[in-house]
Amino acid sequence: MKKLVYALLIFILSSCTTLTPVSYVKTLDYRPLIENGLFVTESNSVSFEYTSIGSLFAQETDGWINGQFVTPRIKNMYNNILLEAQRLGANGLINMSVKRLDHSIVIQGMFIKRVKYGDVKIIEEQSVPIANDSLTGIKDDIRVGKINGTEYSVFRETEYEICLSTSRKLTVSEMKGIKKELVVSKKVLQFYILGIDNDNPYASLYETQLIEHGKGKITEFNE
């Protein structure tokens, strides 16, 4: 009996192995969609105006092709999404979610069409008087103001920056007028066109510097 117990103990101990830690990272690259002109975000809130087009449900399953087992092909899925966006006239996908199931990948979201406005060059108009038509206030929990008849809104504010959106590009004088109105110190003011390339500002003001991002130009100015 003792021999049997000893044998069982030896078997149990010998079958125990030490498991080492495992680290795993997997990324689904959205760039094939973005580089083909489709704005993509997992958020259901964006800083620009848009028109809702329709809900997206895309699924890619595994299966057998010519006797060979094939896993879900994300490239095929992206191509189908781009074709559907083109068919519907959509140029954005918001509230995007990705689910990996046992035998398939599912992508869901909402197709949108971003509203675009006309573009105006940034010009210096020191001789043109600045008219602050209304003081900065709060509207629907968003800081808003108006300068020379053009409304602006603060859609994001952090410790280091204030991001503003307007329906047209502002002149340098107008941007300086807003900077003075907001009474900001040691913060970068980032200016965006509503509905046009809202991932990148067209200009920034920091202390006495104007940065024109499209031109890569930095200009010093007087307060």
Question: Cα–Cα distance between 170 and 77 in angstroms, integer?
Answer: 41
91 contacts: CB under 8 Å, gap ≥ 6: 37, 38, 39, 85, 112, 113, 114
Helices (H), the chain: 2-15, 31-34, 74-88, 172-182
**Are 81 and 147 within one domain?**
no
Q: Which of 61, 84, 114 is the last residue before a domain boundary?
A: 114
pLDDT of residue 1: 62
* pTM, entire model: 0.47
**Residues in the chain where the model's pLDDT stays below 50:** 117-136
3-state secondary structure 128-155: CCCCCCEEEEEECCEEEEEECCEEEEEE
What is the CATH number for 82? 3.30.110.70
**Are 179 and 146 within one domain?**
yes
Does 172 reside within a domain? Answer: yes
pLDDT of residue 167: 80
Residues of the domain holding 42 = 31-114
Instruction: Give the three-state DSSP class for 69.
Output: strand
Residue 72: Cβ within 10 Å count = 17
**Are 110 and 147 within one domain?**
no
